Amino acid sequence: MEITICRAADVALLDRYIGSAGATSFHARRFARQATGQSTYLVAWTEGRPVGHAEIRWNGCAAPEVRAARADCPEVNGLGVWPGELRSRGIGSALIRAAEDLARGRRRSVIGLGVAADNPRAAALYARLGYRPLTAYVDRWSYEDADGVAHECADPCTFLIKELSAGSDRPAVQTSKGPVQQIRVSGE
């Protein structure tokens, strides 16, 4: 497995293998935010195919409840692994650890992520990785479907944070199968 920072050429492959809800590509929107410096979009690859992604939003979570509790906390957003049969193989954990390493590289002392109330499996993973609850909030997002109809979504969530140490003796990224073959973070 390899984790890279998303390049313009990767967006079409992401859309092909990990589709977006609606008419517009959330991969393109995430890449556009990265191009302005607002975020870093990480992509996990296996055999030349994207199998996961996570966006680090350097300005933090937009939810007012989270901003009031910890405005200085970058957010790991949009963490996902596809297809589903690849879950529980360390890909999500590797993406989170890569995000943590990038945050440390920017001298950030904390990082966070949201977990939906109906996703106890993810909440258990985040707890194992050292994340603890900060505050409840409602994650609000929207998309336009293929027919041009706008959809507004609201998911009850908990924002979790992890204090980051300045350094670590562990390899930058590990998976359940051992160290990741390569991690490129060029552009950072």
In a domain, 187, yes or no: no
Calpha distance 154→135 (Å, rounded) = 16
Total count of domains within the chain: 1
Please give the residue range of the domain that contains residue 97: 2-182
Provide the CATH number for the domain around residue 13: 3.40.630.30
Strands 49-57 and 39-46, by their bridges, are antiparallel
The closest alpha carbon to 60, from 73, 45, 46, belongs to: 73
Q: What is the pLDDT along the chain (188 residues), one digit of tens a residue?
A: 999 999 999 999 999 998 776 656 889 999 999 999 999 999 999 999 999 999 999 999 999 999 999 999 999 999 999 887 888 789 999 999 999 999 999 999 999 999 999 999 999 999 999 999 999 999 998 888 888 899 999 999 999 999 998 755 444 443 344 444 445 543 34
Query: Does any domain span residue 188?
Result: no
Domain membership flag for residue 167: yes
Altogether, the residues listed in the chain come to a count of 188
Specify if 79 maps to a domain. yes
CA torsion 95-91-164-117 (nearest 10°) is 100
